[in-house]
Structure formats: C-alpha cells, structure tokens
Structure 1
C-alpha cells in the first residue's frame, strides 16, 4: 500500500456477529523521507562569505530531522558543490567564497529514512569585490600603548618591523606586538596590512586584536604564536617522511587558496613566514607577515626584490608585474627545500642565484632526491614554470596526485634532514632588507649574452 505520513492516526477495527460487537484501536504512525525545506535566503556577510537562513520542511516525515545539507553553485555553472554535509541549525555561515562572484544556494533535509529533494534554489547573491585600500581607511589607531601593555621580550625582526611578546595589563593575556617603523613605512601601508588581517577570517591566518600608534611606530596587536616555525618543528621529528612534507604543503596550499580567493597575493612566502600551531589535535600551519601582500586586480603591480632571491619568482627578479602565480612559484621552491634540504637555485652570489631563477635552472641530483618519489618531483616541475600563466592555481595544485592523502605513491625512505638543518642555520644569518642593486639590468645583460 502507498501510505503517506499524513495517513498517520488512530485506526479502529470493529468485529460484529449475531451475538454482538467488539472493537480494538491502534495508533499508526507512518514515517518517511522529509519534504524539501523552504527556499533559503542568502545574505552577504563579507566579500568572501554569506549567511544562509531557511525554514524547516512542511513535513518532517513524522521523524526528527537529523540534519541539513547545504549546496552552492556559481552563476553559469550547472554543478552544485557541497558546502556542509550536515548541520542541525536552520542557518549557516558559508566561508571561502570568491569576491565579486554571484552564488546560489539550496538545502536538503535528512531523517533516518533518507534525504529530501533539494529546496528551491535561493536567489543569486553577488559578493562585493575586496578593496584593501578602502578597508585601510577604516583602521582606528589608538594611543597610550604603554598604559595598556607591558613588553616582555623580542620575538623576531622583519625588514621594517620588530615583533615583541607583550602582556595585556588588564586581562594578563600574552600577545604578539608588531612595531612597524614610521621611518620605513607610511601610515597607509601599515593600515593596509592591518585591514587585511582584520578581513581574513580563516584559522590559518593570525588574528588582529587591536591597533595603536606611538611617536615612532604603528603598532599591531596580534595573536601570539609561540610554537615556532614549521621547519624547526619538522627537524624535531625522529624521522621525516615524504608523506609528512606533502601533508604540510597541502596545508599551506589551502591557506593560500583562501587568500587567492580574495584576489590577494602574499608575495613573501618563505620558511620564516610559516609558523606551526600545536594547540590543536592536528598541528596546522599559520601563514604570517602580510606586509608585502597586494590585491591583484585590473592594475599591474611590480614587486621590488629585497634581500635573498631564493624564493622569488622570475617576474619579481625581472621587475615585471606579479600575479597570484607568483606565490605558487614560492611553494614549488619550498617543496624542493623541504624534501632535499637544499635550495634549488642558490648560487655563490645573489646575482648568480637570480640568473638561475630566471632560467629555471634546477635539477634533482640523485644524492639529494634518491629517496623522493616521482610524484613529488612532478609536483615541483609542474609548479616551477618561468611563465606565471603556465603555473597551476592553488585549487589545481590541491588536485595533484602528490597532495592526495594516502595515495600510496610516497617514498617510504626517511628523508635526510642534515642538509635541512644547515639550510635553517644559514637562513638565520642572512639579511633580507637591502635591495640587490641593478639586478634587472644585470639579468638582462647576462640572459642576452646567453651565459
């Protein structure tokens, strides 16, 4: 019989004969798959997120709803992508969307008997473009930093700043405080970094708590990360395996994908800007230092090379406009370093290193890569393309076989970390502040000479 939930109720059976009548009753509850939820309403929350709300289905199938599945698609696409497999709430904040793109959403309901048909899709909602310059104007700079915080010790130094561990006097909470030199940076530049940190709502970027200004510095109050750098953490392993390197490269690439979805290029990806967060069950990489980050939009941006060019892409060295692919190149170099312990383009001088980068002059020496899989080498080769237009996006990189968990292609030979230890020690003593003089003309002359 084709019963429906609305057929539920009290059913009475009556028996009659010549001697009389008797009856008995039973309550029948017909259960089934729920109806589709009502059409969801999507509301812009930021340039990369929306908040979605919906009402429960008119019929739950006489069962408790066990969860809702939310899907989305971009305008022009016929493919619905799952945002969350199951949530009990009738609202959801959907993150990691692309600024400027129109999105549509739909919801399905589940109970023990199955999943409903999808709801009617929401109206399209177009997210605003991200404008870092406009955001910078909204930063409020407080005074009297010394009355609110006590300085404890120096954590590190950047090209234009000093980072110190401080304690908030009222809450006794430890924080990292970045003092940006007014002699080296303009106010709008410091505000740009602060606005970007304020905008990035992602667990792999540090949180900006507050901003201050002193006579000598612009001051950024930041989340304290005191578990150290990623490479130092890896060096403390008894055995470093290729699979572990792939895990953290994937982690970094996911952080980069979020940034690139905002149309922002980091432009300073190097080991010193990769911290490890050990406060959670599965350690996670935090990508720090957004001093050089820029929004990649219609205008061209030329990024000036400062200090060691080991992780710089050819377009940075040649003084031509950068792109999101500039960051991808740096990930390729980082992968090479983590697997071998040596820098692929490093030479006796910075100028010679620049030549090697521009010629993409690297190889996989057997002594360094004898225990590294072909899949890992292919990943590096795919990324280290001279023309940034030929480099894969972060999303495409994440689909590469080498970054797929438990793919079975990883080498089972422990990596030799002695060279990586030397690499880390050398990087501690280098100066990344001074620009390389006349590097562009030097490169042009050498490349034209073919030497």
Structure 2
C-alpha cells in the first residue's frame, strides 16, 4: 500500500490497522521511497492481515488521513453460456450474461471448430459481448467464455450451440459493431470525463430529432455517401442487453414500404445505436392537424398503409405492441412509415404472448393487457382502432374525468361515439366497433380489415363518404394535452455523442 504525502513542515506519518497503531516488523515493512511516498508492505500476507488500514499525516497545521481495506480476492464464477446472436460473412456477434462482481473483471473467449481443440479468440474483453471476425467461412464453430479478476481466471462456461459461419441471408444488414468503453484519464478534469460515445468514424451526429420514454433520436450523416440517417440511441444495463437487442433482431428481418429500414447498428457497454433510414415528415396526427380540414377519405388512406404494414408484420410473426401516432411519420407525399419497434416481439401463431413490459401508455392499452392476459395480433388491431377513433373525433374513445372509469370503459368496451365528428359513415363506425371489441377473439385480423368495403370500396363510394369535412381545432386541443403528458414521460438522459 502506498500514500503520497506533502506538507510544510514535513508531517509525521503513522499507520493504523483497525484503529490500532503499529510499527515496522520483520513481516510488515514501513518505508518512505522517495521522500514523499510512504509505503506499507506485508510480506507473505496471511488471514490475520485482512482488515482496514489507515495512514495518518500530522504537522502543526493539522491532520489528514486516507484508508483502504485488505480483503481476499476469490476466483470469479463461471459465466453463462454465450449466445451467437448474429452471423454475417466471416463474423459473428457473441453475447453472454455478465458475471456479478464487486471488482473489475474481464473475459477470455475461446473457440473451436468441429473436432478441433479449444483456441483463444480474445483476452481482456471488458464487456459481455464481442464481435468475432476473420472466421473461416463454411466452418462450424462453438464458443466459450471465462471471467478473469485479480485473483486469476475462473472456469470456462459451457460451450455455445454450434454455428455455421457465412450462411446466406435474404437481406444484408452489417454485423452489429461492438465498441469498447473509452479509457479515462485519471488526471483529466471532471467535465472532460463524461461517458463519451466513441461512434463509428463514418457517421457524424447532428441535431436531435425526437426523444421517447427510453431512447433519443438524432440525425446523422454517413461521411462516405453524405446521406442522412436517423440514429436511435437506447441506454441499457448489461443484464437487460438482450431486451434492447430484440428491436435490432426484428428490424433486420423487415423490408416493407411502410416500415422504417435498418441500415446498421452499434453497441457499447452502455448504449445500443440503430442507424435507420431518415423518415422526413410529421407525426401522423400532427400531419392531419396542420390541414384546415380533412375527411374520411384521408383517414382511410392512412389506415390502408398502416394495415398493410401490420399485415406484413403479423405474417412474419411479429407483434408491434405500440401502434400509435407518435410512432408513425408521414412525408410530403402522404406516405406513412412505422418508425419505432422498441416494444415489438416475435410470437407463435395461436399462442398468446406473455410480455415482460409494455410501455405505460394507458390510452392504447387493450383489455387483455389491463387484465394481465397474453397478447396477440388482435392487440395491435385494438391500437389501430384507438388511433382510428382519434382521427375521426379528435378525442379518446374511452374518455372519462375519473381514472378508474377509463379502465372500466376499456374492459367493457364502452366507446364514446358521441365524441366523434358528426356525419361519419356507417362503414367508419363499424370499423371502430369491430377493432375496439373488448373480446380479443371478436376483432378482425389485419387481412380482414383491408378487405372491408369501407376501406377497399370503389372510388365512387369513397368520394360519397368523403363529402363531410372535419375541422382540426378539436384535434389541436387533443394534441396539446397529449404533448404535456408526453414531455413528462420522455427520457431526460443526455447522451454525449461524438
């Protein structure tokens, strides 16, 4: 143990263990080398040496002290089995659950091919994820990890499932990049030791576009092509990494006109960054509110785009689970895109999905969520029904001045049609009733919705139903109230990106 001491006049130095002063002995050596650096050396430390040590400096000007505790460092425990979550070309992304430890740890990673010996892939890995590269394409690999601390290396984990490197993919999304933490200079000023985000050098981050409950969206530019993209930055804890990566795994599978396109992804020990196409435009309800008026025709055109995307998601066994205006952007040509998949999950047809957590947006929660039951494709249809009602009313379908009444209205399916704009067609009312059925099995599928006469009728029928125009003053009021709630729930996190 060492302690640097300065003072004038030169201070007297005393050492204490558990409050009792002690002197040098044959096994415990006290020295000052150089003059201002005082050291305590324990030769062949034993169990009786464990405990709290304090160095006290005293001169006529006063007293100062510092202390430390000597403990036994044990070998770390065995990590969980690593998982190969993506393969791309000659690379693979490995993830594993971090080992709980009160002291700094690193990881050692080994691999082997079929019938081969274990070989070291990497050592000194600080995070519980790693991007392996330059693997043999076509070979079958297994991986294992061990945790290392000051006491040494613990046991290796069980091997991962066998993975073939370089398998063909229908669409190519670059392998997610792992970026280690930036080393900190102990002598640097506090303001310069922010957790800077060392981003891939090909992207320059620009202004903030939006922020939600858990993420921040920034505009960024690819320096190679000068093309603009949107970067979604989501902070996470290491033990929840698999949850934030779920959005990445879902987006990389999707290709649809009305679904945002993933371009690349980066992961650091604290953040996941998804580089997505930049969807220029306005949120859906704001797009309608900026008009002098609108009709059922415009509402139907947006619904057909939403239902087309949701039909595609459900056909690929994906639930969105957060379909609302906030997550839909409309460009100047009235093309709509769904842009946020933070709550999306894969599901098995016919098997209700028990979700761990759904964002607490009470206005969109279906009865099955309030009652703690499993969710399915019909849960997305409910959200579309809520959004449709808002577009046709500038209000919420289950409004009440009493909070408990709101949930009761949802559970019993009591829709406040009296709040809708006058002059709605029978088809519009029928669609809202069907999609907001309080029984999940009573709601139509996305495919059923698309062929409803109200949505797919001939042009003459559509024109007849679009005669009535809806003023936007009421929708403006609805959005003002919603923005107040939204700003309260938005993340306040500031992500330093360079």
TM over 0.5: yes
Task: Say if 1:205 and 1:184 are closer, same or farther in 2 by CA, change over 3 A.
Answer: farther
Tell me what 1:324 maps to.
377
**Residues 1:309 and 2:345 are matched in the alignment:** no
Specify the SS of the correspondent of 2:177.
Answer: coil
Of 291, 307, 313 in structure 1, the residue corresponding to residue 342 of structure 2 is 291
Q: Check 1:139–1:359 CA distance in 2 against 1; reply closer, same or farther (3 A cut).
A: farther
* Aligned position for 1:197: 251
Check 1:264–1:362 CA distance in 2 against 1; reply closer, same or farther (3 A cut): same
Closer, same or farther: CA 395–303 of 1 in aligned 2, 3 Å: farther
CA distance in 1, matches of 2:362, 2:378: 16
Aligned residue runs from structure 1 range 68-107, under 5 A:
none
Name the SS of the counterpart of 1:415 in structure 2. Answer: strand
Change (3 A) 1:174 1:256: same
List alignment gaps of at least 5 residues for structure 2: 1-170, 180-197, 490-498
Instruction: Give yes or no for contact 2:231–2:276 (8 Å, CA) kept in 1.
Output: yes
Cα distance in 2 for residues equivalent to 1:139 and 1:317 = 38
Equivalent residues of 1:270, 1:311 under 8 A apart: yes
User: Residue deviations 1:413-436, cap 9 Å, x none?
Assistant: 2112111111122221214997xx
Alignment-derived partner of residue 100 in structure 1: none
Give 1:360 deviation, angstroms: 1.0
- Contact (CA 8 Å) 2:343, 2:359: kept in 1 or not? no
Counterparts of 1:228 and 1:235, CA distance in 2: 10
Task: Give the secondary-structure state (helix, strand or coil) at the position aligned to 1:389.
Answer: helix
The alpha-carbon deviation at position 299 of structure 1 amounts to 6.3
Q: Aligned-residue CA RMSD in angstroms?
A: 2.4
Does 1:424 find its partner at 2:479?
Answer: yes
Aligned residue in 1 for 2:391:
338
For residue 451 of structure 2, give the secondary structure of its aligned residue in structure 1: coil
Does residue 226 of the first structure (1) align with residue 226 of the second (2)?
A: no
* 2:465 alignment counterpart: 410
CA distance in 1, matches of 2:224, 2:208: 21
TM-aligned CA deviation for residue 214 of structure 1: 2.8
**SS at the partner of 2:365?**
coil
How far the C-alpha of 1:362 sits from its partner, in A, is: 1.5
Quick one: distance in 2 between partners of 1:320 and 1:432?
Answer: 30
User: Secondary structure, in 3 states, of the residue corresponding to 1:346?
Assistant: coil
**Deviations 1:110-135 (CA, angstroms, capped at 9, x unpaired):** xxxxxxxxxxxxxxxxxxxxxxxxx9
SS at match of 1:167: strand
Residue 164 (structure 1) aligned with residue 218 (structure 2): yes
1:386-405 map, 5 Å: 386-405=438-457
Q: How many residues align?
A: 295
For the Cα contact (< 8 Å) 1:303–1:319, is it kept in 2? no
Instruction: Indicate the residue corresponding to 2:424 in structure 1.
Output: 372
Matches within 5 A, 1:243-322: 243-278=297-332, 282-297=333-348, 298=351, 300-302=353-355, 304-322=357-375
Instruction: Give 3-state SS (helix, strand or coil) of 1:420's partner.
Output: helix
- In the alignment, is the contact (CA less than 8 A) between 2:411 and 2:438 conserved in 1? yes
1:165-212 superposed Cα distances (whole Å, 9 cap, x missing partner):
112233222111011112398222222211211110111111111111
* Structure 1 position 227, deviation (Å): 1.0
Report which of the two structures shows the higher radius of gyration computed on alpha carbons: 2
Deviations, residues 81-129 of structure 1 (Å, cap 9, x unaligned):
xxxxxxxxxxxxxxxxxxxxxxxxxxxxxxxxxxxxxxxxxxxxxxxxx
Contact 1:308 1:431 in 2 (8 A): no
Q: Does 1:141 align with 2:177?
A: yes
Give the gaps of 5 or more residues in structure 1: 1-134, 435-451
Contact 1:309 1:350 in 2 (8 A): no
Tell me, yes or no, if the aligned pair for 2:261 and 2:276 is still in contact at 8 Å. yes
**Equivalent-residue separation in structure 2 for 1:240 and 1:184 (angstroms):** 47
Match for residue 207 of structure 1?
Answer: 261
Please list, as runs of the form range in 1=range in 2, the aligned pairs for 1:45-124 lying within 5 A after superposition: none
- C-alpha displacement at 1:396, in angstroms? 0.5
- Deviation (angstroms), 1:347: 2.6
Quote the Cα distance in structure 1 between the aligned partners of 2:299 and 2:476.
15
Q: What is the SS of the residue equivalent to 2:206?
A: strand
Alpha-carbon deviation of 1:215? 3.9
Q: Structure 1 residues 227 and 433 mapped into 2: Cα distance closer, same or farther (>3 Å)?
A: same
The secondary structure found in structure 2 opposite 1:378 is: helix
SS of the residue corresponding to residue 429 of structure 1 reads: helix
What is aligned with 1:110?
Answer: none
Mean Cα displacement is larger for which, 323-332 or 166-175?
Answer: 166-175
Q: Secondary structure at the match of 2:201?
A: helix
Equivalent in 290, 300, 306 of residue 236 of structure 1: 290
Q: Deviations over 1:272-317 (max 9, x none)?
A: 0111133xxx521101211111122146323635333111111111
* 1:226 CA displacement: 2.0
Say whether the 8 Å CA contact 1:303–1:322 is kept in structure 2. no
Give the match for residue 67 of structure 2: none
